[in-house]
Structure 1
């Protein structure tokens, strides 16, 4: 039985809550693809993923599905994870403004663009779990979970906080971040951290579903 071990852990009632949750994942790279894998294997049956990118050779060190170089990320993952829904769309400010986030119980932001992440937070902070910077690091033990207002040592979090303050936005939302110091100047990456951030996001989503 596919989900027997999940039912043992959560119990029938809570597992039904997990199965019936509607989750949207924005960005399915090194973080988002692992969040997808974790949620799918944990029994979530209504998952929508959004990305506009195709796999290139540089993705192969950290992204699930990335052996399909030159192929669409969402199409590849739809094949690997039957039943998920896909949006093959560039996530920009206009898309965020027009998109209806209401049907989803949880929105996972694993995208890269800072301005867009800020707009997503403004629009759906109550259901948001945001992944912050995971590049330039290799120590997964440094990963933390906190309110955006309680982060430390993460440059992206600091930038987002500053922009939210300028916009007089003071609402709370959860982020997964790492205060580990950068280990390189370029965007080097290690799946030990990018994958662990995605798995942590999944864990936080399950905890929220079962509250």
Structure 2
């Protein structure tokens, strides 16, 4: 695949990067990624990955746009209230880059459909807002041998990591970091604890950078590390994550053999 004249203009700032160039841009145009959630994290992910020319972007979300979403979910507009988030996101992406193909999945990800939904994607970016979905996405990516870039945020903080445990070696999975979901009363949801809207933009943009790095094979992968951002102190910490030999998913004595065991 060779770039058109319009594509040379659109992606000119990528093309002059030695690390990307024409070959890298063609790789992005041929890439297929799945974004889980079209909310606070999914919004900057969709905006920047579409602008970057990622050729096919699947987005899975079963929710509709509510007024309280608009403070941070910048891909949606006031006119999109009560519309399906996947449809609203698809329209906005079409305005930014009509070359990008959006594949809407208006449904909730479950153990029954996860492997089918993930099929055919090169990478998954998880922007979900609950531990049950994060564990499910992690497990499905492990079984599908698909890289996962995961992020989470709350109040003034956020975190990002990449998981490629299917490669073996020193690559941990999400369960190596969180062996099991913490009690629900210890981890309040966004609607309970609140969030500074711009935190979603900051963390989602970092997540988009890691997605592009993985697709292009650039720099150092976050696999094996957790990047933690504290917005109030404007500090970053990069924490080493070791593979857990007792992990029920990727450890040598793994007990989870299929998605029915996700927790």
TM-score (norm 2): 0.61
Q: Is the 8 A contact 1:136 1:186 kept in 2?
A: no
Equivalent residue number for residue 2 of structure 1:
10
Q: Is the 8 A contact 1:56 1:66 kept in 2?
A: no
Q: Is the 8 A contact 1:93 1:116 kept in 2?
A: no
SS at match of 1:107: strand
Quote the RMSD (CA, aligned, Å). 2.8
Distance of 1:101 and 1:55 partners within structure 2? 24
TM-score (norm 1): 0.75
After TM superposition, give the deviation of residue 100 of structure 1 in Å: 4.5
The 5-angstrom pairing of residues 16-27 of structure 1 reads: 16-27=26-37
After TM superposition, give the deviation of residue 80 of structure 1 in Å: 1.3
Distance of 2:191 and 2:39 partners within structure 1? 20
CA change 1:197–1:117 in 2 (3 A) is same
The 5-angstrom pairing of residues 128-143 of structure 1 reads: 128-132=148-152, 134-137=153-156, 143=159
Q: Is the 8 A contact 1:148 1:161 kept in 2?
A: no
Identify unmatched segments of 5+ residues in structure 2.
Answer: 1-8, 95-100, 166-173, 182-187, 218-263
**Alpha-carbon displacement from aligned partner over 1:87-110 (angstroms, at most 9, x marks no partner):** 1112233332x5252411110111
Q: 2:86 aligns with which of 74, 94, 109?
A: 74
Between 1:57-66 and 1:20-29, the stretch displaced more is: 57-66
After TM superposition, give the deviation of residue 34 of structure 1 in Å: 0.7
* Structure (1 or 2) with the larger CA radius of gyration: 2
Distance of 2:191 and 2:87 partners within structure 1? 32
CA change 1:148–1:200 in 2 (3 A) is same
The 5-angstrom pairing of residues 41-120 of structure 1 reads: 41-63=51-73, 64-67=75-78, 68-82=80-94, 83-96=101-114, 98-120=115-137
After TM superposition, give the deviation of residue 116 of structure 1 in Å: 2.3
Identify unmatched segments of 5+ residues in structure 1.
Answer: 150-156, 165-181
**Alpha-carbon displacement from aligned partner over 1:64-97 (angstroms, at most 9, x marks no partner):** 214221111111111111231111112233332x
Higher relative contact order (CA 8 A, sep 6+): 1
Distance of 1:33 and 1:85 partners within structure 2? 15
Aligned length in residues? 181
CA change 1:37–1:119 in 2 (3 A) is same
Q: Is the 8 A contact 1:109 1:128 kept in 2?
A: yes
Distance of 2:155 and 2:177 partners within structure 1? 19
Equivalent residue number for residue 252 of structure 2:
none
After TM superposition, give the deviation of residue 29 of structure 1 in Å: 0.1
